[in-house]
Structure formats: structure tokens, C-alpha cells
Amino acid sequence: MRHALALLLLITVALSAQVMEDSQHYRDASTLYGLIVGQGYPCVVSIQPNHSGVPNHFVYFNRNLSGSGGLERFLNAVVATSMVSSTATWSSNALLVMFNDTWLTISTSDCRYLNNNYTHMTETQLENWILENVISAPNPNQ
């Protein structure tokens, strides 16, 4: 029994290791992290308020968007945010996905829309939808 509790504690610490300690809605941030990392994409996650006090989801990938797997990481963060925001007891505003070279912003309602519809889109339709609905900016820290 003691070994099982120690293992559970170790797993809990390992899963929460990449969730920022000061994250609001820490349990939901941990779920978001678990959904993304569970697909093989290491990241750092936080939920923080915007200037109006409404929470935003933040996901940071320590790589370039333009590199291999960038779009897949972004879409995984969108799907995970959709799942978390659709079951949360609180409202959120946006998902900010930060790569070393680019920051992407999408509303959480658009995350839910994309999650519900992307499998019915062609690759061209998906690319066009992203171009029309996702705000992209160079990383201001570069």
C-alpha cells in the first residue's frame, strides 16, 4: 500500500511538473497538460487571466512552429483546450500557443468549433480556416 501511494505521488508530481505553479484552475491546467503530453508533445501549460480578468490558456512548445510537427502540436493544443474548456465550470477567452519563432492565438470557442469540424475538412480547407481565424505573430522575445 505504501508503495502504491508513493508511486501515485510520483506520477502526480511528474504530470504536474510542466504546469506553472501559479496557474489558475490548476486541475484544469493539469488536464490540459496531460492531454497534450499524452499525444507525445512535451510542453509547459498555464491558465492566466487577461487584462479583463478572464482566463486564457497558455501552451508553450520549446521548438519552432516552422519545424517538423509544428502544425500537429498546434492542433493538439487546440483539441485539448476544446476538451478542457467544454467541461470547465468557468469561462475562458483564448488559447495562446507559443513556439520559439511564432505565437498563435485562437478563441476557445473557435477551438471547440475546430475540434468538432476539422475531421470533415480537407487539408486546404483546414489551412484556410486557420489563416482566417488564428492570429499569428512573431515571438516578441526574439
Q: What is the pTM of this model?
A: 0.84
Alpha helices in the chain (DSSP H): 2-16, 26-37, 70-87, 108-117, 123-133
- The H or E element spanning position 91 is none
pLDDT in tens, 89-137: 999 999 999 999 999 999 999 999 999 999 999 999 999 999 999 999 9
Half-sphere exposure of 10 (CA within 13 A, CB side): 6
Cell numbers 465550470 correspond to: 89
pLDDT in tens, 22-65: 999 999 999 999 999 999 999 999 999 999 999 999 999 999 99
Kindly give the pairing relationship between strand 94-98 and strand 102-107.
antiparallel
